[in-house]
Chains A and B, each alone.
Chain A
């Protein structure tokens, strides 16, 4: 295998991991505030179709990503109004949101099937990209990839050092106590849900604008669910979410190459490998019940309505 080929494989792994990281980071913030939004898959699909539609109409990928973000945001707004104001059950509402997103994205995307466009290109960083080997390996990605790392360190900082990160954790642990000492629980949960939606939207748009620059119905193929699982198995820690995303991306790409090189394992088995490996590894690294109990937002999935 040539060096060129290895760089290619590495780039594909990064590309496969990035949307998962975005969606999972968004869901992590939502869940830290005590809200379980199972609609990630639906929000990603809406982000993908909106991103592709706007990008192919306007010719601007930036506008496309913007549209993807807004579509995810709008979907999560529906979820927020239903669960926070109308007190609907979070699990049922999230499932409904996924079904709704799948249907609506298929409907909107009908006239875009079969079209393709120029996908998102890596940016060259002066001097750094020119370093032999290493430059091409780690300084030759598109801005969304760099964005995912900014997001990773931003979230670590946010939850560890910032006051508002503390407030979000407090709301997720005990909305009743947070309300009693005077924090606007509903407003904080709103913001957390909307952040989750926006990140899912970007994740979806990355699929249809960067990885495979076209629209196919149901093109997320379960990545939203994997993102959800990542958050739980990573015990709500950003760094573990990132590790999980790269693990998933890695196995996905490697099994592709395995299929290409004619490994004698049925392709169906190879295709399910990434899902299996990611979950098994994450369960192994976080099986300590103490870690789970200490990091799990205690009010996860429970409705809260302030009594005045």
Chain B
């Protein structure tokens, strides 16, 4: 029997794609071949040009030069609607769902022909069950977890019967169990002949899932590989161009309790928010505690309560360095030695339109010597900013550069450096390495470990399990506003934490048990 004609040719071929933005060349002379039924990884660090390339394939962005071949015929994809018509579907990294609409409404928006609501709901149920992605078509998106939202995005693509499915960083928001489930779905799709373009920087996932990989660095293709035949190190080498540095962390016995929360309950009026239920947590000097969990499970609310941004009533739930802190504002908490690095760098961690110099001044308090007799001491501020820049290898145009002129990774290095050099007693960090390239991420992690070694109490909130296991003494999980007991990292596993992430834990006071 002859194979179908289409399998002789690649399903998609990119030839010499180039796309330049005013400040950066996102793609330069990129070639890519995807065959029918192939799961093809596009691997690269943040800013390597992966997302731009996918947008070009999906018709959101037009390339400056180069051509796209679909089933061996040159096509000009001018809009997402046209991309869907020829059989390309895309699941976006930052979901393109509308929160106040229902699942069915969201899906109908992406269908090119009008289908009656009843029929559509029926089809959504059918397709979602067939692929093991059950969703209720009448639910509102804002009431759904991130994992469920991703299902909606995938089902939305499947209803268009795609022949090429683009997945942009699909696992960054999933529990390890949900990742396995997703892989099953993708393998099944591939076996039915659908090609899959899988964008990621997670090397282990690519090694288990993908048939082939194209590696991008700085907008250029630096190589192709068969992931299953490569090691973690060799793929990393291809991706970042050098070997990964490793974090050094020695065992340490923690001292007195620096940060303590007891029975914290906090309700929210935000319909998209999460209510915190009976949160108990303790972080000691010289200890790094991690909070894992999928975003949107109460991290934002917990961090706002800890930093002092969310006003709380007196109830003896929070203690910082032994001082009751419930009613203290964020600046009062800072003078107790609390430092906070928020997830949003621009706007919350730094003022975008101010220089690094002035941003360095923002979080300092009385005793830091940057303000004397109520006046800003500019020579001290400048030398402090320059010291941060030098210590943390921040790539920028000097201490006068505006915060929004820095790349995300460099700005994060600056903010982390600023807070660390302000001599914290308690450090709270949210998503320390989110959107930061691998090399800089290691530098930031090492800086946090050094801080812990200097007897600072460190609390890290992160979605990256690997990272938490790398740097934390104890790990807790936040799920739907509840916090699990913090267990020693050495006594737990990714699988167990993953189970907890879906809310399957008893929040008994197991904490005391684990200390014993």
CB of B270 within 8 A of chain A?
yes
What's the nearest-Cβ distance from chain B to residue A177, in Å?
Answer: 4
Which stretch, B105-113, B186-194, B321-329, B463-471, touches the partner chain A? B105-113
**Given known contacts A180-B60, A181-B109, A294 and B92 CB-to-CB distance under 8 angstroms:** no
Shortest distance in angstroms between A137's beta carbon and chain B's nearest beta carbon? 39
Residues of A within 8 A of B100 (CB): 169, 173, 294-295, 298
- B450 → A minimal CB distance (Å): 39
SS class, residues of chain B in contact with chain A? loop
- B79's closest neighbor in chain A, by CB? A182
Contact of A293 (CB < 8 Å), options: B61, B97, B270: B270
Within 8 Å CB of B142, what residues of A? 294
Residue contact B80 to A180, C-beta cutoff 8 Å: yes
- Judge whether A174 is part of the interface by a CB distance below 8 angstroms: yes
Contacts of B81 in A (CB 8 A): 182
- B 72-108 to A, binary, CB cutoff 8 A, 1 in contact else 0: 0000000111001000000010011111110001001
B5 contacts the other chain (Cβ, under 8 Å)? Answer: no
A102 CA to B80 CA, complexed, in Å: 43
Q: Is the CB of A163 within 8 A of B114?
A: yes
Please, which residue of chain A has its CB at the minimum distance from the CB of B84? A182
Contact of B98 among A169, A290, A295 (CB under 8 A): A169
A308–B61 CB distance below 8 A:
yes
Taking the closest CB of chain B, its distance from the CB of A182, in whole angstroms, is: 3
The minimal Cβ–Cβ distance linking B97 to chain A, given in whole angstroms, is 7
Q: How far is the CA of A166 from the CA of B117 in the complex (A)?
A: 12
Q: Is A74 an interface residue (CB 8 A)?
A: no
Q: Is the CB of A173 within 8 A of B269?
A: no
CB < 8 Å neighbour of A169 from B62, B101, B110: B101
Judge whether B378 is part of the interface by a CB distance below 8 angstroms. no
Q: How far is the CB of B100 from chain A (nearest CB, A)?
A: 5
| Chain A residues, CB < 8 A from B95 | 177
Give the complex CA separation of A173 and B62 in angstroms. Answer: 25
Closest to B81 in A: A182
Q: Is the CB of B99 within 8 A of A173?
A: yes
A264 at interface, CB cutoff 8 A: no
Q: Which residues of B have CB within 8 Å of A163? A: 108, 114
| Docked-complex contact A180 and B101, CB < 8 angstroms | no
Given A177-B98, A182-B79, A182-B84, A170:B272 Cβ within 8 A: no
Query: Is the pair A180, B109 in contact by a Cβ cutoff of 8 Å?
Result: no
Q: How many residues of A contact B (CB 8 A)?
A: 23
Q: When chains A and B are docked, how far (Å) is the Cα of A70 from the Cα of B77? A: 38
B310 to chain A, nearest CB (A): 16
Chain A CB within 8 A of B59 CB: yes
Which residue among A178, A180, A298 has the maximum number of chain B CB atoms within 10 Å of its CB? Answer: A180
B271 within 8 A of A: yes
Q: Are A166 and B108 in contact (CB under 8 A)?
A: yes
Are A180 and B92 touching (Cβ within 8 A)?
Answer: yes
Within 8 A of A (CB), among B225-277: 269-272
Per the bound structure, the CA–CA distance linking A293 and B79 in Å amounts to 32
Chain B positions within 8 Å of A126 at CB level: none
CB distance from A158 to the nearest CB of B (A): 14
List, in ascending order, chain B residues with CB within 8 A of A182's CB: 59, 79-81, 84, 110
* Interface SS of A by simple majority: helix
Contacts A180-B92, A182-B84, A294-B271; A170 near B61 (Cβ below 8 A) = no
- In Å, the complex CA distance between A182 and B84 comes to 10
Chain B positions within 8 Å of A167 at CB level: 109
B114 contacts A289, C-beta separation under 8 Å: no
A308 CA / B96 CA spacing, docked (Å): 17
Q: Evaluate whether A170 and B271 lie within 8 angstroms (CB atoms) in the complex, with A163-B114, A308-B62 already known.
A: no
**Distance in Å from the Cβ of B98 to the closest Cβ of chain A?**
5
Enumerate chain B residues within 8 angstroms of A289, measured Cβ to Cβ.
Answer: 269-271
**Closest Cβ neighbor of B109 among chain A residues:** A170
Which chain B residues border A181 with CB–CB below 8 Å? 80, 96, 109-110
Tell me the bound Cα distance from A43 to B37 in angstroms. 58
Instruction: Chain A residues near B109: list those with CB within 8 A.
Output: 166-167, 170, 178, 181, 183
For B114, list chain A residues within 8 Å (CB): 163
The yes or no answer to A187 lying at the interface (CB within 8 A) is: no
| Alpha-carbon separation in the docked complex, A295 to B99 (Å) | 11
In the bound assembly, the distance between CA atoms of A290 and B269 in angstroms comes to: 7
- CB-nearest residue of chain A relative to B106? A170
Q: Which B residues between 316 and 362 are near A, CB-CB below 8 angstroms?
A: none
Of residues 155 to 186 in A, which have CB atoms within 8 Å of B's CB atoms? 163, 166-167, 169-170, 173-174, 176-183
Give CA–CA (A174, B92) in the complex, Å. 14
A292 vs B486: C-alpha distance when bound (angstroms)? 38
Minimal beta-carbon separation of A175 from chain B (angstroms): 11
Given A181-B110, A182-B81, residue A173 in contact with residue B96 (CB < 8 A): no
The listed residue (A166, A176, A307) touching B105 by CB distance below 8 A is A166
Q: In chain B, residues 293-308, which have Cβ atoms closer than 8 Å to a Cβ of chain A?
A: none
Q: How far is the CA of A308 from the CA of B77 in the complex (A)?
A: 13
CB of A248 to closest CB in B, whole Å: 28
Interface string of A129-144 (1 = CB under 8 A from B): 0000000000000000
Give B residues with C-beta under 8 Å from A: 59-62, 79-81, 84, 92, 95-101, 105, 108-110, 114, 142, 269-272
17 contacts between A and B (CB under 8 A): A166-B109, A169-B100, A169-B101, A173-B98, A177-B97, A178-B98, A180-B60, A180-B96, A181-B109, A181-B110, A182-B80, A289-B270, A290-B269, A294-B100, A294-B142, A308-B61, A308-B62
Known contacts A167-B109, A174-B99, A308-B62; can you find 5 more A-B pairs with CB under 8 A?
A: A163-B108, A174-B98, A176-B96, A178-B98, A182-B80
A-B interface, 7 closest residue pairs, ranked by CB to CB distance from nearest: A182-B80, A177-B96, A182-B81, A180-B96, A290-B271, A173-B98, A181-B110
